[in-house]
Structure 1
Amino acid sequence: MLESDEVKISSEKVETVTLREMKKEELEALVEFIYSDGSVLCAKMKQHVLYLAADKYVILHLRDLCRTELISSLNSENALDFLELAQIPFDTVINDVAFSFIITNISTIASSEKFKLFVVNNPYLAVEIMKASIYSDGSN
Protein backbone atom coordinates (compact mmCIF):
# COMPACT_ATOMS: atom_id res chain seq x y z
CA MET A 1 0.00 0.00 0.00
CA LEU A 2 2.78 2.47 0.77
CA GLU A 3 5.31 1.41 -1.85
CA SER A 4 5.47 4.81 -3.50
CA ASP A 5 6.28 6.66 -0.27
CA GLU A 6 9.73 7.04 1.20
CA VAL A 7 10.50 4.26 3.65
CA LYS A 8 13.50 4.66 5.94
CA ILE A 9 15.08 1.83 7.87
CA SER A 10 17.12 2.66 10.93
CA SER A 11 19.84 0.57 12.53
CA GLU A 12 17.19 -1.09 14.73
CA LYS A 13 15.29 -2.25 11.63
CA VAL A 14 12.29 -0.06 12.48
CA GLU A 15 10.42 1.14 9.42
CA THR A 16 9.22 4.72 9.27
CA VAL A 17 6.78 6.02 6.69
CA THR A 18 6.39 9.75 6.15
CA LEU A 19 3.03 11.01 4.88
CA ARG A 20 3.74 14.71 4.51
CA GLU A 21 0.45 15.55 2.84
CA MET A 22 -1.58 14.57 5.88
CA LYS A 23 -2.21 16.49 9.09
CA LYS A 24 -1.82 14.68 12.40
CA GLU A 25 -5.59 14.34 12.90
CA GLU A 26 -6.09 13.01 9.39
CA LEU A 27 -3.32 10.46 9.76
CA GLU A 28 -4.78 9.35 13.09
CA ALA A 29 -8.18 8.88 11.43
CA LEU A 30 -6.60 6.85 8.62
CA VAL A 31 -4.63 4.66 11.01
CA GLU A 32 -7.70 4.21 13.22
CA PHE A 33 -9.68 3.05 10.20
CA ILE A 34 -6.95 0.67 9.01
CA TYR A 35 -6.45 -0.94 12.41
CA SER A 36 -10.16 -1.25 13.14
CA ASP A 37 -10.60 -3.77 10.29
CA GLY A 38 -12.57 -1.11 8.41
CA SER A 39 -15.44 -0.96 10.86
CA VAL A 40 -14.74 2.39 12.53
CA LEU A 41 -16.31 5.42 10.95
CA CYS A 42 -15.27 8.67 12.51
CA ALA A 43 -16.34 12.27 12.04
CA LYS A 44 -12.99 12.94 10.36
CA MET A 45 -14.11 10.84 7.41
CA LYS A 46 -15.82 13.89 5.96
CA GLN A 47 -12.47 15.56 5.49
CA HIS A 48 -11.36 15.80 1.89
CA VAL A 49 -7.83 14.71 2.67
CA LEU A 50 -8.94 11.37 4.11
CA TYR A 51 -10.91 10.70 0.93
CA LEU A 52 -7.87 11.61 -1.15
CA ALA A 53 -5.60 9.46 1.00
CA ALA A 54 -7.96 6.52 0.57
CA ASP A 55 -7.79 7.03 -3.18
CA LYS A 56 -4.01 7.54 -3.21
CA TYR A 57 -3.30 4.42 -1.14
CA VAL A 58 -6.01 2.41 -2.88
CA ILE A 59 -8.08 1.73 0.21
CA LEU A 60 -11.23 1.25 -1.81
CA HIS A 61 -13.52 0.46 1.12
CA LEU A 62 -12.51 3.66 2.89
CA ARG A 63 -12.78 5.69 -0.30
CA ASP A 64 -16.31 4.38 -0.83
CA LEU A 65 -17.29 5.10 2.78
CA CYS A 66 -15.85 8.61 2.54
CA ARG A 67 -17.69 9.16 -0.74
CA THR A 68 -20.96 8.14 0.89
CA GLU A 69 -20.31 10.44 3.86
CA LEU A 70 -19.37 13.34 1.61
CA ILE A 71 -22.49 12.93 -0.52
CA SER A 72 -24.73 12.67 2.54
CA SER A 73 -23.35 15.99 3.82
CA LEU A 74 -23.76 17.80 0.48
CA ASN A 75 -25.27 21.28 0.80
CA SER A 76 -25.13 24.72 -0.82
CA GLU A 77 -22.06 25.66 1.22
CA ASN A 78 -19.89 22.71 0.16
CA ALA A 79 -21.24 21.65 -3.26
CA LEU A 80 -18.58 23.59 -5.16
CA ASP A 81 -15.86 22.12 -2.93
CA PHE A 82 -17.14 18.62 -3.64
CA LEU A 83 -17.28 19.26 -7.38
CA GLU A 84 -13.69 20.47 -7.23
CA LEU A 85 -12.69 17.48 -5.09
CA ALA A 86 -14.22 15.09 -7.64
CA GLN A 87 -11.74 16.33 -10.25
CA ILE A 88 -8.59 15.39 -8.32
CA PRO A 89 -9.07 11.69 -8.68
CA PHE A 90 -11.90 11.97 -11.20
CA ASP A 91 -14.82 10.51 -9.30
CA THR A 92 -17.88 10.26 -11.53
CA VAL A 93 -20.24 9.65 -8.62
CA ILE A 94 -19.26 12.71 -6.57
CA ASN A 95 -18.92 14.78 -9.74
CA ASP A 96 -22.42 13.91 -10.97
CA VAL A 97 -24.12 14.32 -7.59
CA ALA A 98 -22.41 17.64 -6.85
CA PHE A 99 -22.99 18.93 -10.38
CA SER A 100 -26.71 18.06 -10.26
CA PHE A 101 -27.05 19.63 -6.82
CA ILE A 102 -25.38 22.83 -8.05
CA ILE A 103 -27.66 23.04 -11.10
CA THR A 104 -30.74 22.48 -8.94
CA ASN A 105 -29.62 25.20 -6.52
CA ILE A 106 -27.92 27.50 -9.04
CA SER A 107 -29.66 30.70 -7.94
CA THR A 108 -28.38 30.35 -4.38
CA ILE A 109 -24.94 29.06 -5.28
CA ALA A 110 -24.21 31.44 -8.18
CA SER A 111 -24.96 34.48 -6.02
CA SER A 112 -22.42 33.49 -3.37
CA GLU A 113 -18.92 34.89 -2.90
CA LYS A 114 -17.66 31.31 -2.98
CA PHE A 115 -18.93 30.94 -6.55
CA LYS A 116 -16.99 34.03 -7.65
CA LEU A 117 -13.77 32.48 -6.36
CA PHE A 118 -14.73 29.12 -7.88
CA VAL A 119 -15.11 30.76 -11.30
CA VAL A 120 -11.61 32.22 -11.08
CA ASN A 121 -10.04 28.92 -10.02
CA ASN A 122 -12.16 26.60 -12.18
CA PRO A 123 -13.24 28.44 -15.34
CA TYR A 124 -13.97 25.27 -17.32
CA LEU A 125 -16.23 23.85 -14.61
CA ALA A 126 -17.92 27.23 -14.19
CA VAL A 127 -18.73 27.33 -17.91
CA GLU A 128 -20.12 23.79 -17.74
CA ILE A 129 -22.28 24.75 -14.74
CA MET A 130 -23.63 27.83 -16.50
CA LYS A 131 -24.34 25.92 -19.74
CA ALA A 132 -26.16 23.18 -17.83
CA SER A 133 -28.18 25.69 -15.81
CA ILE A 134 -29.26 27.49 -18.99
CA TYR A 135 -30.31 24.24 -20.65
CA SER A 136 -32.09 23.01 -17.51
CA ASP A 137 -34.32 26.11 -17.68
CA GLY A 138 -35.56 24.92 -21.05
CA SER A 139 -33.78 27.62 -23.07
CA ASN A 140 -31.61 26.60 -26.00
Structure 2
Amino acid sequence: MRCKSCESSFQDYYADTCKQCHEHHKAKVAFLGATHPASFSDVVLFASDDEAAGPIPAHKAVLVSRSPVFRAMFENEMEESLSGTIKIGEVSYRTLGAFVNYLYTAEVRLDQQFACDLFVMAEKYQVQHLKDYCQTFLLANLNCDNSLSTYTLAHRHNAKQIIDAALIVITDNMDKLTSRKEYAKLKEKDPQLVIEIYEAFLSRHSSFSCVRTVYSPFTFP
Protein backbone atom coordinates (compact mmCIF):
# COMPACT_ATOMS: atom_id res chain seq x y z
CA MET A 1 0.00 0.00 0.00
CA ARG A 2 1.00 3.64 -0.43
CA CYS A 3 0.56 6.22 2.29
CA LYS A 4 -1.80 9.03 1.31
CA SER A 5 0.34 11.55 3.18
CA CYS A 6 3.93 10.74 2.25
CA GLU A 7 3.31 8.31 -0.65
CA SER A 8 5.80 5.80 0.73
CA SER A 9 5.07 2.08 0.63
CA PHE A 10 3.95 0.45 3.86
CA GLN A 11 2.26 -2.59 5.27
CA ASP A 12 -1.23 -2.30 6.74
CA TYR A 13 -1.34 0.04 9.69
CA TYR A 14 -4.07 2.66 10.11
CA ALA A 15 -6.51 3.41 7.28
CA ASP A 16 -4.52 4.88 4.38
CA THR A 17 -1.46 6.16 6.23
CA CYS A 18 1.81 4.63 7.39
CA LYS A 19 2.70 4.45 11.07
CA GLN A 20 4.99 7.50 10.94
CA CYS A 21 2.33 9.71 9.32
CA HIS A 22 -0.33 8.35 11.65
CA GLU A 23 1.73 9.35 14.69
CA HIS A 24 2.43 12.75 13.14
CA HIS A 25 -1.29 13.33 12.59
CA LYS A 26 -2.07 12.29 16.16
CA ALA A 27 0.50 14.75 17.50
CA LYS A 28 -0.92 17.49 15.30
CA VAL A 29 -4.48 16.86 16.51
CA ALA A 30 -3.29 16.90 20.12
CA PHE A 31 -1.42 20.14 19.50
CA LEU A 32 -4.39 21.87 17.86
CA GLY A 33 -6.83 20.47 20.37
CA ALA A 34 -5.31 22.24 23.36
CA THR A 35 -7.81 24.27 25.33
CA HIS A 36 -8.13 28.03 24.81
CA PRO A 37 -8.72 29.78 28.14
CA ALA A 38 -11.53 32.29 27.67
CA SER A 39 -10.11 34.72 30.21
CA PHE A 40 -7.40 36.04 27.85
CA SER A 41 -7.99 38.84 25.37
CA ASP A 42 -6.34 39.72 22.05
CA VAL A 43 -2.74 40.82 21.54
CA VAL A 44 -0.42 42.01 18.76
CA LEU A 45 3.16 40.93 18.13
CA PHE A 46 5.97 42.94 16.51
CA ALA A 47 9.21 41.68 15.02
CA SER A 48 11.65 44.10 16.65
CA ASP A 49 14.10 43.61 13.77
CA ASP A 50 11.44 44.87 11.35
CA GLU A 51 8.90 46.97 13.25
CA ALA A 52 8.08 48.96 10.11
CA ALA A 53 6.42 45.85 8.72
CA GLY A 54 3.61 46.33 11.21
CA PRO A 55 1.89 44.21 13.87
CA ILE A 56 0.93 40.55 13.68
CA PRO A 57 -2.41 40.03 15.44
CA ALA A 58 -2.98 37.01 17.65
CA HIS A 59 -5.12 35.80 20.52
CA LYS A 60 -3.73 35.36 23.98
CA ALA A 61 -5.90 32.27 24.35
CA VAL A 62 -4.03 30.60 21.49
CA LEU A 63 -0.58 31.78 22.57
CA VAL A 64 -0.93 30.54 26.13
CA SER A 65 -2.34 27.17 25.03
CA ARG A 66 0.59 26.54 22.68
CA SER A 67 3.54 28.00 24.59
CA PRO A 68 4.43 27.74 28.30
CA VAL A 69 6.53 30.88 27.87
CA PHE A 70 3.56 32.93 26.66
CA ARG A 71 1.42 31.42 29.41
CA ALA A 72 3.89 32.55 32.09
CA MET A 73 4.12 35.97 30.47
CA PHE A 74 0.38 36.59 30.65
CA GLU A 75 -0.38 34.86 33.93
CA ASN A 76 2.34 36.83 35.73
CA GLU A 77 0.98 40.15 34.43
CA MET A 78 4.22 41.17 32.79
CA GLU A 79 4.35 44.41 30.81
CA GLU A 80 3.31 42.59 27.64
CA SER A 81 0.15 41.21 29.22
CA LEU A 82 -0.88 44.67 30.39
CA SER A 83 -0.13 46.53 27.17
CA GLY A 84 -1.32 43.85 24.76
CA THR A 85 1.85 44.32 22.71
CA ILE A 86 4.71 41.84 22.47
CA LYS A 87 8.02 42.71 20.82
CA ILE A 88 9.97 39.66 19.67
CA GLY A 89 13.69 40.29 19.35
CA GLU A 90 16.07 38.97 16.72
CA VAL A 91 13.44 37.67 14.35
CA SER A 92 12.21 38.75 10.92
CA TYR A 93 8.62 39.68 10.22
CA ARG A 94 8.32 36.69 7.87
CA THR A 95 9.57 34.25 10.50
CA LEU A 96 7.37 35.69 13.24
CA GLY A 97 4.35 35.56 10.95
CA ALA A 98 5.01 31.93 10.12
CA PHE A 99 5.53 31.13 13.79
CA VAL A 100 2.21 32.67 14.82
CA ASN A 101 0.44 31.00 11.91
CA TYR A 102 1.86 27.65 13.02
CA LEU A 103 0.40 28.13 16.48
CA TYR A 104 -3.02 28.30 14.85
CA THR A 105 -2.66 25.70 12.09
CA ALA A 106 0.36 23.45 12.80
CA GLU A 107 1.32 24.07 9.17
CA VAL A 108 4.39 25.68 7.61
CA ARG A 109 6.33 25.27 4.38
CA LEU A 110 10.01 25.01 5.27
CA ASP A 111 13.28 25.66 3.53
CA GLN A 112 16.71 25.34 5.12
CA GLN A 113 16.95 28.87 6.55
CA PHE A 114 13.31 28.97 7.57
CA ALA A 115 13.68 25.66 9.41
CA CYS A 116 16.68 27.05 11.32
CA ASP A 117 14.90 30.29 12.22
CA LEU A 118 11.72 28.55 13.37
CA PHE A 119 13.72 25.93 15.27
CA VAL A 120 15.23 28.77 17.32
CA MET A 121 11.82 30.37 17.95
CA ALA A 122 10.25 27.05 18.84
CA GLU A 123 12.92 26.43 21.46
CA LYS A 124 12.71 29.97 22.84
CA TYR A 125 8.94 29.71 23.34
CA GLN A 126 8.95 25.97 24.16
CA VAL A 127 6.73 24.93 21.26
CA GLN A 128 7.91 21.33 21.14
CA HIS A 129 5.66 20.30 18.26
CA LEU A 130 7.22 22.91 15.97
CA LYS A 131 10.73 22.22 17.24
CA ASP A 132 10.35 18.52 16.42
CA TYR A 133 8.99 19.37 12.98
CA CYS A 134 11.95 21.65 12.19
CA GLN A 135 14.42 19.11 13.54
CA THR A 136 12.95 16.40 11.31
CA PHE A 137 13.34 18.71 8.31
CA LEU A 138 16.94 19.64 9.17
CA LEU A 139 17.93 16.00 9.61
CA ALA A 140 16.25 14.95 6.37
CA ASN A 141 17.92 17.74 4.39
CA LEU A 142 21.38 17.60 5.95
CA ASN A 143 24.15 17.62 3.33
CA CYS A 144 27.75 18.65 2.78
CA ASP A 145 26.85 22.23 1.89
CA ASN A 146 24.78 22.98 5.00
CA SER A 147 26.46 20.64 7.50
CA LEU A 148 28.72 23.24 9.13
CA SER A 149 25.99 25.85 9.61
CA THR A 150 23.53 23.21 10.84
CA TYR A 151 26.14 21.81 13.22
CA THR A 152 26.84 25.28 14.62
CA LEU A 153 23.12 26.01 15.09
CA ALA A 154 22.57 22.66 16.79
CA HIS A 155 25.43 23.35 19.20
CA ARG A 156 23.98 26.71 20.21
CA HIS A 157 20.73 25.00 21.11
CA ASN A 158 22.07 21.70 22.43
CA ALA A 159 20.26 19.62 19.79
CA LYS A 160 22.25 16.41 20.20
CA GLN A 161 20.53 14.42 17.48
CA ILE A 162 21.32 17.09 14.90
CA ILE A 163 24.87 17.51 16.23
CA ASP A 164 25.58 13.80 15.86
CA ALA A 165 24.12 13.64 12.36
CA ALA A 166 25.97 16.76 11.22
CA LEU A 167 29.28 15.44 12.55
CA ILE A 168 28.90 12.32 10.41
CA VAL A 169 28.39 14.41 7.28
CA ILE A 170 31.23 16.77 8.19
CA THR A 171 33.76 14.05 8.95
CA ASP A 172 32.82 12.24 5.73
CA ASN A 173 33.59 15.40 3.75
CA MET A 174 36.63 16.85 5.52
CA ASP A 175 38.66 17.40 2.35
CA LYS A 176 35.92 19.59 0.89
CA LEU A 177 34.86 21.43 4.02
CA THR A 178 38.22 22.39 5.48
CA SER A 179 39.05 24.42 2.38
CA ARG A 180 35.95 26.61 2.69
CA LYS A 181 35.76 30.10 4.20
CA GLU A 182 32.94 28.92 6.44
CA TYR A 183 35.31 26.46 8.12
CA ALA A 184 38.03 29.09 8.50
CA LYS A 185 35.51 31.40 10.21
CA LEU A 186 34.48 28.59 12.55
CA LYS A 187 38.12 28.01 13.55
CA GLU A 188 38.47 31.70 14.35
CA LYS A 189 35.12 32.20 16.09
CA ASP A 190 34.65 28.94 17.96
CA PRO A 191 37.74 26.69 18.00
CA GLN A 192 36.11 24.39 20.57
CA LEU A 193 33.67 23.22 17.91
CA VAL A 194 36.55 22.54 15.55
CA ILE A 195 38.19 20.40 18.23
CA GLU A 196 34.98 18.39 18.51
CA ILE A 197 35.00 17.89 14.74
CA TYR A 198 38.62 16.75 14.93
CA GLU A 199 37.86 14.29 17.72
CA ALA A 200 34.86 12.92 15.84
CA PHE A 201 37.00 12.54 12.72
CA LEU A 202 39.61 10.57 14.65
CA SER A 203 37.03 8.33 16.31
CA ARG A 204 35.68 7.26 12.93
CA HIS A 205 39.06 5.99 11.73
CA SER A 206 40.66 2.82 12.99
CA SER A 207 44.26 4.01 12.57
CA PHE A 208 44.38 6.79 15.16
CA SER A 209 48.09 7.48 14.92
CA CYS A 210 48.03 7.58 11.13
CA VAL A 211 45.16 10.04 11.03
CA ARG A 212 46.75 12.24 13.71
CA THR A 213 49.75 12.83 11.48
CA VAL A 214 47.53 14.01 8.66
CA TYR A 215 45.01 16.23 10.50
CA SER A 216 44.85 18.31 13.64
CA PRO A 217 42.25 20.90 14.63
CA PHE A 218 44.71 23.72 14.06
CA THR A 219 46.45 22.52 10.91
CA PHE A 220 43.33 21.72 8.91
CA PRO A 221 43.62 23.70 5.69
The answer for the alignment partner of 2:154 in structure 1 is 86
Q: Residues of 1 paired with 2:203 and 2:103: CA distance? A: 45
The residue that corresponds to 2:121 in the other structure is 53
Residue 7 of structure 1 pairs with residue 80 of structure 2? yes
- The residue number in structure 2 matching 1:121 is 189
Q: Counterpart of 2:145 in 1: which secondary structure? A: coil
Please tell me the root mean square deviation across aligned C-alpha atoms, in Å: 1.9
Compare relative contact order (CA 8 Å, sep 6+) and give the higher one, 1 or 2: 1
Q: Which residue of 1 aligns with 2:14?
A: none
Of 78, 98, 110, 1:43 maps to 110
Amino acid at match of 2:202: I
TM-score (structure 1 length as normaliser): 0.85
Shift of 1:95: 0.7
Count of paired positions: 134
The answer for unaligned runs of 5 or more in structure 2 is 1-66, 209-221
Aligned-partner Cα distance in 2 for 1:71–1:6: 38
Per the TM alignment, residue 138 of structure 1 is displaced from its structure 2 partner at its CA by: 2.4
Q: Percent identity?
A: 27
Deviations 1:2-48 (A, max 9, x none): 235850534xxxx1111122110000110111111x1x121257522
Q: Which runs of 4+ in 1 moved over 4 A?
A: none
Q: Choose 1 or 2 for highest CA Rg.
A: 2
Report the CA distance between 1:87 and its aligned residue.
1.5
For the residue of structure 2 that corresponds to 1:90, the secondary structure is coil
Q: Partner amino acid for 1:18?
A: K
Letter in 1 for 2:86: V
- Gap change, CA 1:9 and 1:52, over 3 Å in 2: same
Letter in 2 for 1:122: D
Distance (whole Å) between structure 2 residues aligned to residue 123 and residue 89 of structure 1:
17
How far 1:132 moved relative to its partner?
A: 2.4
Within the alignment, does 1:104 sit opposite 2:177 as a pair? no
In structure 2, the partner of 1:63 is 131
**Gaps in structure 1 of 5+ consecutive residues:** none
